[in-house]
Amino acid sequence: MKTFSLPSEGPKERPDFLAQLNAQQKQAVTHTDGPLLIVAGAGSGKTRVLTYRIAYLLQQYKAAPEQILALTFTNKAAREMKERIKDLIGDKAGKLWMGTFHSIFSKILRFEAEKIGFGSDFTIYDTSDSQTVVKQILQELNFDTKEIKPKTIHNKISDSKNQLITADTFQEKFISSTLDDITARVYSIYNKRLKQSNAMDFDDLLVKPIELFQKHPDVLEKYQDRFKYILIDEYQDTNHAQYKVTKMLADKYQNICVVGDDAQSIYSFRGADISNILNFKEDYEEATQVPLEQNYRSTKAILQCADSIIKRNTKQLDKTLWTEQGYGERITLLENFDERDEANRVASHIQNLKMRHGYKNNDFAILYRTNYQSRVFEESLRRKDLTYQLVGGLSFYQRKEIKDVLAYLTLLVNPHDETNLLRIINEPSRGIGNKSIQDLLGQARDEGRSIWSIIQNVESLDVYKPAKARVREFVDMINRLRNNLENGETLTDTTKAVLEQSGYMKALVEENSQESMMRRDNIIELQNAISYYERGAKNASLSSFLQEISLITDQDKFDEDKPAITLMTVHASKGLEFPVVFIVGLEENLFPVGARQNFDVDIEEERRLFYVAITRAEERLYFSHCRSRFKFGEETRQARSRFLEEVDAGVVQTETGATITQKKDRFSDDGNSSGSDYTVDYDWKESRTKKTHRSPSATIHYDYEDGEDPFQVGVRVEHKKFGPGKIISRSGSGTDAKVVVFFKNRGQKKLMLRAAPLQVID
C-alpha cells in the first residue's frame, strides 16, 4: 500500500488567513484532532471555514493532501472549495480527495470493483436508465406498466437501498401489500440484471462501498489509513448509507469534521435523515460542537423573519443567527386574485426594482414549492421581455438524441450494458424489429448470458433471417469502433466516427424538420463538450468522461452569472443567494404541501424549507399568495399559508405599507384550515379630523387624515355592477383622481374615484 510522508516539521507560523475569521470560525478551523460538529447557520461562512480548515491542516503538517477526504453534495461546491484552497496553499490542492459522495465512491469502486464481482468500467445508470430496467422486468413478469408504475417500484427499491435494506431482507420483513410483493420480486431481478450488465445505479455508488468494506476488512483499513482526516459538508442531508460508509472510514482515527445546519434539512423525500446531525455527539462522545452564528448574507429584517419561523420547530440544535448589517427593507406581502395576477405582479415589481434601484436580471430569484408553478411566471416574464433561466427543467444530458449518442459511446467501454444496447440496436432504424429484439432477449434469458455475448455468434441466433444480417453489421460496427478507440483514436474522432458509421446524423439531416435540426445542433454541442473535456483533462478517457457527466447535478448546471432572472424550486435554491427573492404560492396544501401520514414531522420539514427560502435573500424579500387557483380546470379558493401567520408581523408589510395582524389559531394540529380571511391594520397618523371606511365584514379598516383616502394601489374593492376587484394603478389627485381596477369577472376598468360606486371590501 502507498504511504504518505509529511514534510519535516519546522516552526508552525500562524497562517495569515486566520485573521480573516471571526472567533467561532477560527475555533472551527484550528480544532484539528478528534470529532468536530460545526453547526453552521445560513450565510455564516461555512464554505470559508471548510476551505480554511483544509488549508490549516496542510500548513500545520497534520496530513498530506492525499490523506484528506472532503465530501460535498454538488460538484460545483467541490470545485469552488478546491479553487479557494489553491489560492491559499498552491498546487497541493489538486491532490485532495474532494468531490460529491457519488463521485468519490465511484472512484474508489473503479479501483476495487473486481473484488465484488464488477468490472472497473462499469456503467452508472441514472434514474431514467434504472426505471427502464424496472419497466422491462415488470413486462417480463406480465404486469401492466400503466397500472404498476415503474417509477413507483424504482422509488421503493431506491429507498430500500438508501436504508441498507437488501432484496432478501425486503422479501422477509417488508411486505405488507401487493405492491410490496411486486417490488420484492422486481428488486431481486433488478440487482441481478444490473450486475449482468456491469452497471451500478446511483444508490449502488453508496451501498457497494459498504459491501466492499464489510467483505474485505483489509480494503477498509487501507482507506482508513489513506483518509486520516474526513470533512463532510451539508451533513444534515446525508442518508443512512452515507452515514454508514463515512462512519466506517472514520472509525480508526476519529478525525471526522461534519458541517451542517439542522434548520436546513429538507431532503427526507430522498432519504436524508436529520437524526444523523442531531445525534452526532451520541455517535462521537468526545465530539466538540462549534456554532457559526454570524450571518454575512442577509439584513436584520430578513434574519428576524427567518428566526421567527424556525424557532417554532421542536427538533433543532441550539443557535441564534445575528448580523452586523443594517435593518434593511421590511418583507413585502403580495396579495393576488389568482396565479396569473401573481405572476404579473411579481414581473411588475421586478421591472420597477430594476428601473428604480439598478438591479440586474440575475439579482432576482422566484422560488416556488413545485415545478408546475413556473409556467405562468415564464409567460409573464416573456410578455415583459424579461430574460429568465429555468432551473430544474429537462437536462441537456437527458435529451433523447444525447442519450442515444451516449449509449453508443457507452457500448465502446462496456458492451455488456444491456439497457444502452437495447436503446440503440435499432436507432436509427436498421431493420432489427421489435420481434427480433424480443427473440434476442428471450435467448439471452434462457442461456443466462448478456445480449452482447449472444449476438457475437450471429449464426446461432434464433431470429428472422434478414435481421441476422443487420445484427452482424451492428456487431461489426461496434467492434470496429472499440478497436479504433483501444488503438489510440481520440475521443473527438471516435464520436465523429460513431455518428457517421451509425447513420445517426444522416438520419436527422434527411428528416429535415425543425425538430431534427434542433437535435442535430444538440449533438454538435455534445461533440463540443467532448472536445473541451479532452483538451482540459490530464488523462482523458471515454470511461472518465461518461462517469463525469453521469454525476452532474441540477446545481452544477445553474449559471449564477447568466444575465437572467432565476426560476427554481426552493429545494433547488439551497446553497444559493440572491439580492432579491420572491417566495410565491404561500398557500395551504401548496406551501406547506398537504398533510401526509406523519404530519408533525412533515410540517417541521416544510417549515425548514420555508426557512431555507427566506435565507436565500440578501437585501429584499417578497412573500406572495393567491386567493384562488385553477385546478383541474376549475377555480379553487385558497387558504393563506399558516407560515404567514407564524412570521414576525413586525417585519412584514403589504404593498401599501400595512402591517399584518395574524389569526394565531387559524390552523388546528391536523392541518385543516378555517378559511383564508385575515386582518390588516393600517397605521395611519392620528389627526383632528379622522374618517373610517369600513366594509360590511370589517376585516380591514382604514384611518386617514383629510386629503388622504384608502383607495390605493393593491387595495381590494367592490363595485355595485362589476363586482370584486383590485386597484392596480392610480393617477391624478383630488376630484380628478382616477384608478384602474382589475375586476375578477369583468376585466380591467378605468374609473373616476369621485363618481365610481367603490367600496373597500377587505
Domain end among 550, 565, 597: 550
SS3 390: strand
Q: Give the pLDDT of residue 636.
A: 84
What does the pLDDT average to over 464-490? Answer: 92
Q: Give the pLDDT of residue 110.
A: 94
Tell me the pLDDT of the chain averaged across its residues. Answer: 87
* Residue 40 known to bind ligand: yes
What does the pLDDT average to over 679-704? Answer: 32
- The answer on pLDDT for 63 being more than 50 is yes
Burial class (CB in 10 A: 0-12, 13-18, 19+), 421: buried
Count of domains for the chain? 5
Domain end among 601, 635, 654: 654
- The answer on pLDDT for 661 being more than 80 is no
What does the pLDDT average to over 384-410? Answer: 89
Is residue 307 included in any domain, yes or no? Answer: no
Would residue 289 show up in a list of annotated catalytic residues for this protein? no
Residues 576/613, Cβ–Cβ less than 8 Å: no
Instruction: For residue 508, report the phi and psi dihedrals to the nearest 5 degrees.
Output: -65, -40
* Nearest residue to 72 (alpha-carbon basis) of 290, 232, 241: 232
Q: 283 and 344, same structural domain? A: no
Q: How confident is the model at residue 222 (pLDDT cuts 50, 70, 90)?
A: very high
Would residue 616 show up in a list of annotated catalytic residues for this protein? yes
Angle (CA) 729 733 737, round 5°: 55
- The answer on pLDDT for 460 being more than 90 is no
Catalytic hit among 112, 121, 129, 234? 234
Q: Give the pLDDT of residue 211.
A: 97
Query: How many other CB atoms are there within 10 angstroms of residue 447's CB atom?
Result: 11
Burial 559-573 (b: 16+ CB within 10 A, else e): eeeeebbbbbbbbbb
Domain end among 523, 550, 577: 550
Residue type, 297: R
Q: What are the CA-CA distances from residue 338 to residues 270, 430, 569, 730 (Å)?
A: 31, 52, 19, 21
Is residue 311 included in any domain, yes or no? Answer: no
Q: 641 and 495, same structural domain? A: no
Q: Give the pLDDT of residue 361.
A: 97
Ranges 113-122, 226-235, 542-551: which has the least confidence: 542-551
Q: 641 and 567, same structural domain? A: yes
Is residue 62 included in any domain, yes or no? Answer: yes
Q: 105 and 85, same structural domain? A: yes
Residue pLDDT, tens place only, 72-120:
988 888 888 888 888 887 777 778 999 999 999 999 999 999 999 999 9
Residue pLDDT, tens place only, 237-276:
999 999 999 999 999 999 999 999 999 999 988 889 999 9
State how far the Cα of 438 lies from the Cα of 132, in Å rounded to an integer: 15
Would residue 264 show up in a list of annotated catalytic residues for this protein? yes
- The answer on pLDDT for 301 being more than 90 is yes
Catalytic hit among 244, 430, 607, 616? 616
Q: How confident is the model at residue 630 (pLDDT cuts 50, 70, 90)?
A: confident
SS3 702: strand
Q: What is the CATH number of the domain that holds 177?
A: 1.10.10.160
Q: 265 and 226, same structural domain? A: yes
CB neighbour list of residue 690: distance below 8 Å, 6 or more residues apart = 703, 704, 705
Q: 609 and 529, same structural domain? A: no
Q: Give the pLDDT of residue 15.
A: 63
Residue 385 DSSP code: T
Catalytic hit among 30, 47, 351, 492? 47
Residue pLDDT, tens place only, 185-200:
999 999 999 999 999 9
Is residue 679 included in any domain, yes or no? Answer: no
What does the pLDDT average to over 619-634? Answer: 88
Q: 434 and 467, same structural domain? A: yes
Q: What is the CATH number of the domain that holds 518?
A: 1.10.486.10
Q: 463 and 405, same structural domain? A: yes
Q: 336 and 277, same structural domain? A: no
Instruction: Find the helix or strand (DSSP H, E) in which 759 lies.
Output: strand 758-760
Which structural domain, as residue segments, surrounds residue 214? 16-114+206-294
Q: 109 and 49, same structural domain? A: yes
208 Rama sector, left if φ>0, alpha if ψ -120 to 50, beta otherwise: alpha
Is residue 704 included in any domain, yes or no? Answer: no
Residues 339/378, Cβ–Cβ less than 8 Å: no
Catalytic hit among 121, 201, 233, 604? 233
- The answer on pLDDT for 625 being more than 80 is yes
* The C-alpha cell that represents 392 in the structure block: 430544474
* Residue 44 known to bind ligand: yes
* Residue 503 known to bind ligand: no
* Nearest residue to 66 (alpha-carbon basis) of 76, 54, 56, 74: 54
Is residue 348 included in any domain, yes or no? Answer: yes
Catalytic hit among 24, 25, 46, 244? 46
Percent of the chain with pLDDT over 90: 63
* Residue 41 known to bind ligand: yes
Would residue 72 show up in a list of annotated catalytic residues for this protein? no
Q: What is the CATH number of the domain that holds 632?
A: 3.40.50.300
Q: Give the pLDDT of residue 77.
A: 84
Is residue 87 included in any domain, yes or no? Answer: yes
Q: How confident is the model at residue 686 (pLDDT cuts 50, 70, 90)?
A: very low
Is residue 215 included in any domain, yes or no? Answer: yes
Q: Give the pLDDT of residue 4.
A: 53
Q: 187 and 152, same structural domain? A: yes
* Residue 46 known to bind ligand: yes
Please identify which residue in the block is written with the cell numbers 467501454. 413
Q: 210 and 89, same structural domain? A: yes
* Residue 2 known to bind ligand: no
